[in-house]
Amino acid sequence: AQTVTQSQPEMSVQEAETVTLSCTYDTSENNYYLFWYKQPPSRQMILVIRQEAYKQQNATENRFSVNFQKAAKSFSLKISDSQLGDTAMYFCAFMKRNTGNQFYFGTGTSLTVIP
Amino acid sequence: GAVVSQHPSWVICKSGTSVKIECRSLDFQATTMFWYRQFPKQSLMLMATSNEGSKATYEQGVEKDKFLINHASLTLSTLTVTSAHPEDSSFYICSARVPGLTEAFFGQGTRLTVV
């Protein structure tokens, strides 16, 4: 079974500052995807960024980047130049490649951006 | 991005009644959809995988006779909570994957309150 752990239930950051959210996972699989999803107060799940495990290069999407350490099974999210609209729950998720396509979510980190 | 529409957004029902939640893929065909349950400030827990034209696959501990899933077409999956009880009150979210893409797209969620 796959498990995804987010050890930071709550975090806060000053507007315009940088924050890093942690995520570790446990799997025996070699081919998989990792994701960060954002859930704002509207409860709509929004994809922030994804990483393919076979790619060594860390994914980047504008202000969002990841630090993917496959051997350590670590997948942290860095948000640069934090904005008020970044306030949300952030979920790390794991998906095995080519089988079932189920997502396994971490417990989430509630991020508050302080003006 | 792809759009997944969930209806209704919220529903209140009396104990003992049944309620149906719809999940539609608006601009793509989804052979597989997923149903999640989310308690307040908690993660998304996969309930079942809905397969078009065949029986759903339920996660361990999920009562298939209580949570009926029907995936009758490539764009519609329904979740029916039968004989609802107050402990069934929760936020239910569906998702689907676009063929060829890795990420999942989520519906807006349905808040069910059983009184």
Asked whether the beta carbons of residue A47 and residue B32 sit closer than 8 angstroms, the reply is: no
Residues whose CB is less than 8 angstroms from the CB of residue A65 and which lie 6 or more positions away in sequence, other chains included: A49, A58, A59, A77, A78, A80
Average pLDDT over residues B2-26: 95
Q: Distance between CA A36 and CA A50 in Å, rounded?
A: 6
Residue A51 near residue A73, CB atoms below 8 Å: no
A106 reaches B (C-beta below 8 A) = yes
In single-letter form, the type of residue at position B115 comes to V
Is the bond leading into A9 cis (omega within 30 degrees of zero)? Answer: no
Residue B36 near residue B44, CB atoms below 8 Å: yes
Asked whether the beta carbons of residue A103 and residue B102 sit closer than 8 angstroms, the reply is: no
* A–B CB contacts, 8 A cutoff, strictly below: 52
pLDDT digits (tens, 9 = 90+) for A52-107: 999 989 999 999 999 999 999 999 999 999 999 999 999 999 998 766 677 889 99
Residue A86 phi, psi (nearest 5):
-80, -10
Nearest to A24 by CA among A64, A66, A72, A91: A72
Residue A84 phi, psi (nearest 5):
-60, -35
CA B26 to mean position of chain CA atoms: 15
- A-chain CB neighbours of B1 within 8 Å are 47
Residue A115's alpha-carbon distances to A40, A85, B13, B73, in angstroms, are: 17, 11, 40, 47
pLDDT digits (tens, 9 = 90+) for B51-61: 888 889 999 99
pLDDT digits (tens, 9 = 90+) for B34-93: 999 998 888 899 999 988 888 899 999 999 999 999 998 999 999 999 999 999 999 999
Closest Cβ opposite residue B102 in set A33, A45, A100: A33
For residue A26, give both structure tokens. Answer: 């446990």
Q: Distance between CA A4 and CA A25 in Å, rounded?
A: 4
